[in-house]
Structure 1
Amino acid sequence: MTQSSADNAKQILLDVFGYNEFREGQELIINQLCEGRDALVVMPTGGGKSLCFQIPALVKPGICFVISPLISLMKDQVDALRACGVAAAYLNSSLSYQQQNQVLNDMHSGQLKLVYMAPERLLRPDFLSRLDNLPINLFAIDEAHCISQWGHDFRPEYALLGQLKQRFPDIPLVALTATADYATQQDILARLQFNDPLIAIHSFDRPNIEYLLIEKYRPLNQLANYLDEHKNESGIIYCTSRRRTEELAEKLRVKGLSVRCYHAGMMIEERQSVQDLFIKDKVDIVVATVAFGMGIDKPNVRFVVHYEIPKNIESYYQETGRAGRDGLPAQAMLFYDPADAGRVRSMLEKNTNEQQQRIELHKLNTMVAFAEAQTCRRQVLLNYFGEYSHKSCGNCDVCLDPPKSYDATEDAQKILSCVYRTGQHFGMGYVVEVLKGAQTARVKSLGHDKLSTFAIGKDQPVEYWLSLLRQLIHCGLLMQNLTRGSALQLTEAARPVLKAEQPLYLAVPRLKLVKSKDKKRLLSNFSDNNLFAKLRQLRKKIADRQDLPPYIIFSDVSLSEMSEIMPTTESQFLNISGVGQIKLKKYGAEFLTLIKQYEEQL
């Protein structure tokens, strides 16, 4: 890359995007792409992947085509680019025939620098012929894990993108993703037929995200309590089924929360409406299936909740990565019930493709191991992606409240005896009813209120016994017979514990949410709250006026810097992260006026 091109890249970074310095690794990737080299980029969500191809697209003459899997992703990035003064467009089914023609005309007249589209359209024979007559400077494949059969979101149409290198061998190709283990990385390289690519694998760590897990007992109440701690914050709650998203959203709405549901079964106009309300801060919470959120750049999502266990660690990592993209503190909360994992496993076992089924079941088992880990969750997560860490993070539930073990022999004997004396015909819920001494009609009709194990566990709450039951299943002392309605049955390993021939140590049941760090202090330790609130109000006013998401005007990080530094001149305003020449011209006067007025009142 020539010195002038390198200088041009830095100037674009400052003038167009408003950043003084490249993030770690960005400059090397940009330089190599500008020199015409292929690249595979694995960089965490919020790590600045988009700039790695957007800046080369602007430095080099010609047009860049960005392959993207979802309409929502395309619109989000194009809106952000246009707000910075970049000539960008997307080409998809959400546009009218006339609008699509306009994009095609702008492509051929040299008026566009970046065009976003899906792989199916790009690879159509008629469109490939069109590409032959265009000055293309780069192909960028976003969410590149979709290419690989080992990836968590394999898409056959993505696998066909290897055609690009055959047809356009001299045009650089960059594949970008936040979630790719070693097998997925190698598959991407092979399928895309790269020529001596730069392989840039960056840290998977997102230190600003606090990883938390709680066992599900009364999930709706637990969720309501959690959301009560996050009032007026943006958040996403993921569920595994469409019906669950609708039911949960309605129950939360009844509780007075600002919430909508989102799933692929809704009409496209309705989905678009929900997404717009969310990214424009007009709805706080979206309860969604995994169909929601891929590639959405909304930076101020403060929490992501998984109401049920995801199918694999890659999905979990990508979905939790939608929290805290602005670098400010955020939380990833997983509500865990082993029964949820059983339901997901049954669904995966219906896959008739044996190889794909084997891959998916392996990935589910790894996700379950993560959920049941007694060691630092961040270590488990990073180790999965080959980034081995031997230091605990201090920012997950296991680090904040390390598991404590105790001699659970007596408690285990109570449970095992109760399972045995009730005939090994019942599930966890009923066994706990007998332990607790519940005077239900069913218990009485079966005569189980006369058993010696009736009410021997009345001194502990339901959640306590459920936690121990799950641990006994994990330890192999009990099994759930799926052919008999998940009835609990004793295994051979239970015999020595029941006979007091060997002690048993289990984890003390964790019945309350782990107390997080002082989130309010972390969020506001570098900003004046009063000015920050006024700046947010102004941003919202401008965003509504222009029908844009507030974060496209300025991010919370930019507003926080403004409230700390309180710039009063244009040159000072340009030193704020995320403020470039275009945004200075568009919004500088209003923000500077507000800051000056605030300063005069101090």
Structure 2
Amino acid sequence: MEKLEALKKNFGYTAFRTGQERLIDQILAGRDVLGIMPTGGGKSLCYQLPALMMAGTAIVISPLISLMKDQVDGLVENGVASTYINSSLSGAELASRLEGLRRGDYKLVYVAPERLNTWEFAEIARGLDISLIAVDEAHCISQWGHDFRPSYKEIPKFIQRLPVRPPVAAFTATATTFVKEEIKVLLELQRPFEVATGFDRPNLYYSVAKPQNKLKFILEYLKKFDFGVVSHTGAKETSGSMGTSDGPSGIIFCATRKTVDSLTRELQQKGYPVEAYHAGYDSAQRKAVQENFMFDRTKIIVATNAFGMGIDKPDVRFVIHYNMPKNMEAYYQEAGRAGRDGEDSDCILMYAPADVVRQKLLMASASVNASVNASADDGGEAWTEFGMDGASFDLSSGIDRETLMHNNLQTLVNYCHTHECLRGEILEYFGEAAPAEGCSKCGNCLNTSQMVDMTVEAQKILSCIFRTNQRYGSGTIIKVLRGSKDKKIMEWQLDKQSTYGIMSAHSENLIKEIIMHLIAQGYIQMTGSTYPILTLSATSKQLLKGETQFFVKQDRLDATTVSKKEKLGRSKGSVVMTEAAGGLYDHLVALRKRLADEKGLPAYIVFGNATLVEMATLKPQTKEEMLEVKGVGEKKYETYGHLFLEAIRGFRG
């Protein structure tokens, strides 16, 4: 059967996409290949079609159970005899499929890398006529990649034990130049034919948002679509004018399970068709949620990265990152769930400094627990104390690996603070040229906000870093600039520096924003560690001497200012509140008195007046929002926070 005939008969297409035919021809000729193609670029066909045309059985090594099932279901629907072998099968099912494999019943069999060197599978494989070994998500073999799976190191051992070495085809959508070379070496590819079709996804609109209230931002964004939202009265309403009556599909990624559950409840209370997905749920529940999404019974999924790699739904119109992922590769892959059908789709990354801190804590935890390894077919769960999903890391290279992780995170932080084309930043990260004049289709290229000259402010920051001998992190530098009376500042005699207090009129948030832009533009460098130190780059001298100017977009500066409501809540003098806020304040004061009386404590020990004013003004609705209120820490929240949340939600004054 000819290629095009098989393509039409089994897959329904009449032509190949870019790069597909060249890879297929080389596989059919018996040559190893390495294909680097973007999500939605048609990687699977590159090994499925040759497997169909070649004698014998192809073994496809895949990292996720859900991905295997979707691929096999699709192949069976197309009339291709296929199966998968993983831990989701019962004993009887496994025995039946292994027997079918022995008989040569399948053209393709999908297996997890953990399965390869089990005694039974290895014995069966040695007796098979293996046409091809395809390695999906090949970047997982490199510990320098973003999704390292130690079990991928078993792949070359498995191949070495076969009586005849078949051609090996490796595919990935997310590999830097360095990781690409690692794949070739570690998989022991023999003179592989390489195709890289590019990382650009022209239909995706990339943007960065820095909202003070993330939930409010999400709710405002979702209004543009028609989900047929159900109101609290039970009546169906229209949430926006865009979209079809069926509504679009979207994914909101969160860093932790707690955030997933909290945000899901908030959206469900607003009537949105949303479900939660993370590895804390049992496999049956995760399977049901995924099927609801794939069959359009659920329109929005709020998930950890456990929902990432195995999702092939073509009509996802938006992917929002509620929290920052750990690096650019993870962001590119997860954002790439959007627009696989080629239609315009949004990829929004929501930035908050707290997200960076969270990722650094996760990295520190990974270093401490370096011996933890993935054991399940769909990846292990390291960092469970943080409620985080993901494969574990082999940190055998010690600090080098940790430094790389911090540097990769900083690259994504810089992405959130650059004025350059966001599409160009992504392409350059993966070794491709950025559009010469910008892409005209990202949040930065379409941003018409005025550029503001912040040269003087930047010079003050650079001078402070220099005069404190480039020994401190951003937190200390900000305290010096603002004239803080912090104990450590006084002990270290940093109050004696000439730059002490020279930016006392500027808010902490504003100085922090300028510092992040200075880093993004290359004037400041950061050490790659949990507690990074700021140092000056060579180009900073030009800025210090006034030989160049430094600009920041007006809207970025506006995002650092405290809102009117926050100013009311934090003012030191008399506070002018709305009547409703004043009524809620009195309600909270009464609750505080009752709790304090029960414990025999002074009222201010529960919460201070300023904290109650801020609660009454901002009216937090979730734990995350409550923890943003000044004076509410984790311990205070555990003791009292939920009671005050209930009081705020239930207040009808």
TM-score (norm 2): 0.65
Q: How does 1:487-566 map to 2 (within 5 A)?
A: 506-510=551-555
Matches of 1:129 and 1:274, distance apart in 2:
37
C-alpha displacement of 1:137: 0.7
CA 1:384 to 1:421, structure 2 compared with 1: closer, same or farther past 3 Å? closer
Query: Which residue of 2 is the match for residue 161 of structure 1?
Result: 155
Are 1:471 and 1:506, in contact at CA under 8 Å, matched by a contact in 2?
Answer: no
CA 1:195 to 1:284, structure 2 compared with 1: closer, same or farther past 3 Å? same
C-alpha displacement of 1:130: 0.8
Secondary structure at the aligned position of 1:203 is classed as coil
Residue identity matched to 1:16: N
Query: Which of residues 26, 38, 42 in structure 2 aligns to 1:48?
Result: 42
Are 2:510 and 2:557, in contact at CA under 8 Å, matched by a contact in 1?
Answer: no
Are 2:153 and 2:186, in contact at CA under 8 Å, matched by a contact in 1?
Answer: yes
Matches of 2:330 and 2:346, distance apart in 1:
16
Is 1:207 matched up with 2:202?
yes
Query: Which of residues 471, 484, 495 in structure 2 aligns to 1:424?
Result: 484
Q: How does 1:317-466 map to 2 (within 5 A)?
A: 317-350=332-365, 351=367, 354=398, 355-391=400-436, 392-402=438-448, 404-408=450-454, 424=484
Runs of 4+ in 1 over 3 A off after TM superposition: 407-416, 418-423, 462-480, 501-506, 511-514
Are 1:463 and 1:511, in contact at CA under 8 Å, matched by a contact in 2?
Answer: no
Is 1:307 matched up with 2:322?
yes
Deviates more, 1:92-101 or 1:281-290: 92-101
Are 2:422 and 2:442, in contact at CA under 8 Å, matched by a contact in 1?
Answer: yes
Are 2:458 and 2:550, in contact at CA under 8 Å, matched by a contact in 1?
Answer: no
Q: How does 1:560-575 map to 2 (within 5 A)?
A: none
Secondary structure at the aligned position of 2:346 is classed as strand
Are 1:142 and 1:175, in contact at CA under 8 Å, matched by a contact in 2?
Answer: yes
Structure 1 segments unaligned to the other structure (5+ residues): 427-452, 487-496, 515-602
Computed over aligned residues only, the root mean square deviation of the Cα atoms, in angstroms, reads 3.7
Is 1:133 matched up with 2:133?
no
- CA deviation vs aligned residue, 1:161-187 (integer Å, no higher than 9, x gap): 111332355311111110011111111
Q: How does 1:71-82 map to 2 (within 5 A)?
A: 71-82=65-76
Query: Which residue of 2 is the match for residue 573 of structure 1?
Result: none
Are 1:467 and 1:509, in contact at CA under 8 Å, matched by a contact in 2?
Answer: no
Is 1:57 matched up with 2:57?
no
Are 1:139 and 1:173, in contact at CA under 8 Å, matched by a contact in 2?
Answer: yes
Matches of 2:331 and 2:555, distance apart in 1:
22
CA 1:474 to 1:393, structure 2 compared with 1: closer, same or farther past 3 Å? closer
Matches of 2:276 and 2:132, distance apart in 1:
37
Query: Which of residues 260, 263, 271 in structure 1 aligns to 2:278?
Result: 263
Is 1:285 matched up with 2:300?
yes
Are 1:405 and 1:505, in contact at CA under 8 Å, matched by a contact in 2?
Answer: no
Are 2:324 and 2:349, in contact at CA under 8 Å, matched by a contact in 1?
Answer: yes
Query: Which residue of 2 is the match for residue 26 of structure 1?
Result: 20
- CA deviation vs aligned residue, 1:12-56 (integer Å, no higher than 9, x gap): 111111111011111111111111111111111100000000000
Is 1:191 matched up with 2:237?
no
Q: How does 1:50-129 map to 2 (within 5 A)?
A: 50-129=44-123
Deviates more, 1:161-170 or 1:205-214: 161-170
Is 1:149 matched up with 2:194?
no
Residue identity matched to 2:425: V
Secondary structure at the aligned position of 1:112 is classed as coil
Matches of 2:4 and 2:327, distance apart in 1:
38
C-alpha displacement of 1:331: 1.1
Query: Which residue of 2 is the match for residue 235 of structure 1?
Result: 250
CA 1:506 to 1:38, structure 2 compared with 1: closer, same or farther past 3 Å? same
CA 1:151 to 1:467, structure 2 compared with 1: closer, same or farther past 3 Å? closer
Higher relative contact order (CA 8 A, sep 6+): 1
CA 1:109 to 1:336, structure 2 compared with 1: closer, same or farther past 3 Å? same
Secondary structure at the aligned position of 2:18 is classed as coil
Are 1:212 and 1:396, in contact at CA under 8 Å, matched by a contact in 2?
Answer: yes
- CA deviation vs aligned residue, 1:48-86 (integer Å, no higher than 9, x gap): 000000000100111111111111000111111122121
Work out the number of aligned pairs and report it: 467
Matches of 2:135 and 2:29, distance apart in 1:
18
Query: Which residue of 1 is the match for residue 212 of structure 2?
Result: 217
CA 1:511 to 1:113, structure 2 compared with 1: closer, same or farther past 3 Å? same
Matches of 1:419 and 1:277, distance apart in 2:
50
- CA deviation vs aligned residue, 1:560-602 (integer Å, no higher than 9, x gap): xxxxxxxxxxxxxxxxxxxxxxxxxxxxxxxxxxxxxxxxxxx
Structure 2 segments unaligned to the other structure (5+ residues): 227-246, 368-394, 465-477, 487-502, 533-542, 560-653
CA 1:23 to 1:409, structure 2 compared with 1: closer, same or farther past 3 Å? closer
Matches of 2:136 and 2:24, distance apart in 1:
15
Query: Which residue of 2 is the match for residue 180 of structure 1?
Result: 175
Q: Percent identity?
A: 41
Secondary structure at the aligned position of 1:15 is classed as helix
Matches of 1:372 and 1:478, distance apart in 2:
13
Secondary structure at the aligned position of 1:399 is classed as coil
Secondary structure at the aligned position of 2:307 is classed as coil
Matches of 1:17 and 1:511, distance apart in 2:
48
Are 1:65 and 1:117, in contact at CA under 8 Å, matched by a contact in 2?
Answer: yes
Is 1:244 matched up with 2:259?
yes
Residue identity matched to 2:402: Q
C-alpha displacement of 1:125: 2.6
Matches of 1:413 and 1:419, distance apart in 2:
16
Query: Which residue of 1 is the match for residue 221 of structure 2?
Result: 226
Matches of 1:176 and 1:465, distance apart in 2:
44
Are 1:374 and 1:403, in contact at CA under 8 Å, matched by a contact in 2?
Answer: no
Q: Which has the higher helix share?
A: 1
